[in-house]
Amino acid sequence: MHKFNSTKYSGEWTTFASDLVLKIETGEITTKELCLYCKDLSAAQALAGRYPDAISGFLDGSPETVEFPDGSGAVRFFVKDGTQIPDVLSNLGQGDYGGVPLTISGGICPGLPAEYWQTVHQMLGVDQVICLGSIFGW
């Protein structure tokens, strides 16, 4: 098990994601990260605590889970370089999460360079993505 930080957020995922985008666009925070929204907090905690060891070299500190009042959660993987986000995403698929069902319903990737957007879009297999400034989301 890996150590991770935990926080609570008083609103829902969409508000959290909007707040994060605003803080990034205004320069209040400058993280490069893979932030995944899960319909169940236990899925976010499993991702944060049981990710494959191969991801450790890409991380800039410990992951963080965010708990929402409706029981859902998010996990934030802070990376050293935005170009590493596809590697982290790919390696997450190789993890053993202790039988916890992982339902990822959305996410944002602040700091993902534009030349990687198509790669991540294909990896995710989602129909729609949102690209705003330096932020990629779905």
Q: How do the domains of the chain map onto residue ranges?
A: 5-137
- What would the mean pLDDT of 13-28 be, rounded to a whole number? 92
Q: What's residue 83's pLDDT?
A: 95
β-pairing, 64-67 vs 5-8, is parallel
Q: What is the tens place of the pLDDT at every residue in 81-124?
A: 999 999 999 999 888 999 988 888 999 999 999 999 999 988 88
The torsion angles phi and psi of 27, rounded to 5 degrees, stand at 80, 5
- What would the mean pLDDT of 68-87 be, rounded to a whole number? 97
Q: What's residue 101's pLDDT?
A: 84
**Percent of the chain at pLDDT above 70?**
100
Rounded to a whole number, what is the distance in angstroms from the first to the last CA of the chain?
28
**Where do we find the tokens 């098990």?**
1
CA distances to 2, 12, 40, 51 from 120, in Å: 25, 25, 23, 18
pTM over 0.85: yes
Q: How many CB atoms lie within 10 A of CB 95?
A: 16
- What would the mean pLDDT of 55-79 be, rounded to a whole number? 97
Cβ distance 57 to 63 under 8 Å? no
Q: What's residue 7's pLDDT?
A: 97
